[in-house]
Amino acid sequence: MARINLRPWREELRAEKQRQFLVMLAGALIVGAGLVFLWQSHVQGLIDHQESRNSYIENAMKDLEEQIAEIEDLKERREELLSRMQVIQDLQGQRPVIVRAFDEMVQTLPDGLFYTQLEKSGDQVSIVGMAESNSRISSLMRNFERSDWFAEPNLTNVSAADDQRSGYSRFNLSVQQVVPDEDEAESEQEQ
């Protein structure tokens, strides 16, 4: 006898194909989700790596800024120390000049004349003194003119002294202090 297949094979085939399609779709979705996850993980890794590099650069910049500030502080301290050293060297260099200038002031002082006040401002020396006569003041000015350590004597005032020093004239004189060349100073010291 002939067999007739009464089963709905077309619906079963269609259902089987639909089931295969859904399985393939689910597989594709899983693979797609996996790829998206891998891509997102990779991108997040790149972002994290770049952020760590940025953080390293920022920390290095902070360290460099601290070092620059420290270098600036050291430069300021160095300049301050150099200026102090220069002042000390100037003072040490001026020490013999001051002694020599006072010695020269004594040598230029004629008899019958004495100083009551000396004041130095820069290279300008202001002198107040008493003299027995105006000729002694003139002699003092000539001595300053001949001196290697002083120049440009300028007499600003001559007046009669007070009652305690009658017979004396009070004078105000300013003179420029100069430092002669070493050769001139040595030849003068030898004489």
Q: What is the pLDDT of residues 32-86, one digit of tens each?
A: 999 999 999 999 999 999 999 999 999 999 999 999 999 999 999 999 999 999 9
- Which residues share a beta bridge with 155? 173
CA distance 38 to 57: 28
pLDDT, residue 114, reads: 83
C-beta neighbour count of 151 within 10 angstroms: 13
- 112-190 — its CATH code? 3.30.1360.10
**How many CA within 13 A on the CB side of residue 162?**
2
Cβ atoms of residues 171 and 155 within 8 Å: yes
> Beta strand 113-121 with 169-177: parallel, antiparallel or unpaired?
unpaired
Q: Is the pLDDT of residue 187 over 60?
A: no
Assign 164 a pLDDT band (cuts: 50, 70, 90): low
pLDDT, residue 186, reads: 53
Tokens of 107: 């040598």
pLDDT, residue 25, reads: 97
- Pick from 160, 162, 158: nearest CA to 171: 158
pLDDT digits (tens, 9 = 90+) for 82-105: 999 998 887 777 667 777 877 887
Furthest C-alpha separation in the chain:
177
pLDDT, residue 127, reads: 86
Q: Give the whole-number percent of the chain exceeding pLDDT 70.
A: 90
pLDDT, residue 26, reads: 97
pTM above 0.75, yes or no: no
pLDDT digits (tens, 9 = 90+) for 11-27: 889 999 999 999 999 99
pLDDT, residue 183, reads: 53
Q: Give the whole-number percent of the chain exceeding pLDDT 90.
A: 38
